Amino acid sequence: MAPGLAPKSYRKQRRQFAEALLAHAVLVLEGGTEVALFREAATILENSLGSVDYLHPDLEGLSFFDAGGDGSVPAYGPVFGALKKKAFAFYDTPNSPFDDPKQKQLARYVATWMSPKKRIEELLVEEVSIEIQRRFLEDVKCRSDYPSKAKAYDAGMSDDDVRKLASEVLLARKGEASGYAAILIAHCHTDADLPQTIRNILVAIHKHLNPPAVSDPAPGGDNQNAQAEV
């Protein structure tokens, strides 16, 4: 068992740990909503950019790990560090700044990103275009699991009302099981449509896992100078 992890937590996450151990790298996220939407965003990125510029996590060996809730992400930094696994993390802005122990845990990740928002739903509504939010609401309004307390989308709604409704629907159907956040992301046609924060994280991880090749110095040349020119 990984150091610093409670046995109960390990038992609950055995499948995820098995996948992470077999993977080349891990992206730790706060919950199932984030896992589902990051997977969807990665597919759109690959389809839009092509496998030369972006390789899908399934092919790259990047595993998405659900930390199980707000504030849980830091604890897995030392865990994956002890396992010698390249680990990255993305988390919402906490209600109060992380204390020193949690900051030290975060420092064990290769790289971390903190959302500018306290909820992933707020980030999506801010960074996804209003046109895509309208398509999303039109798509889900007739689903059997559409939130009963939410009004149905109407094309005549103002942009502000669309944002409010999208936020309400996403919050009501939070989690990987319902998949509403992933459905919203699926309405993005290209990488340019994706939430900038999500896109930038996936691209940054891809670049870290695929650094540009360093050319070998010419025979008899100065190795230090050759590397400096790259």
pLDDT at position 164, please?
A: 98
Q: Give CA–CA dist 180/168, Å, rounded.
A: 11
pLDDT at position 178, please?
A: 79
Contact 27, 205 (CB under 8 A): yes
In order along its 230 residues, the chain shows pLDDT tens digits of 445 555 566 666 788 989 998 999 999 999 999 999 999 999 999 999 998 899 999 999 999 999 998 889 999 999 999 999 999 999 999 999 999 999 999 999 999 999 999 999 999 999 999 999 999 999 999 999 999 999 999 999 999 999 999 999 999 999 777 799 999 999 999 999 999 999 999 999 999 999 887 665 555 544 444 333 32
CB atoms near residue 194 (< 10 Å): 25
Q: Give CA–CA dist 146/137, Å, rounded.
A: 10
Q: Give me the sheet containing 62-66, strands edge to edge.
A: 62-66, 25-29, 86-91, 111-114
Long-range contacts of 100-109 (CB under 8 A, 24+ apart): 102/71, 102/74, 102/75, 103/74, 105/74, 105/75, 105/76, 105/77, 105/78, 106/73, 106/74, 106/77, 107/77, 108/77, 108/78, 108/80, 108/81, 109/28, 109/77, 109/80, 109/81
Give pTM, 2 decimals.
Answer: 0.86
pLDDT at position 177, please?
A: 73
Phi/psi of residue 160, each to 5°?
-65, -40
pLDDT at position 229, please?
A: 34
Pairing between β-strand 111-114 and β-strand 62-66 as defined by DSSP bridges: unpaired
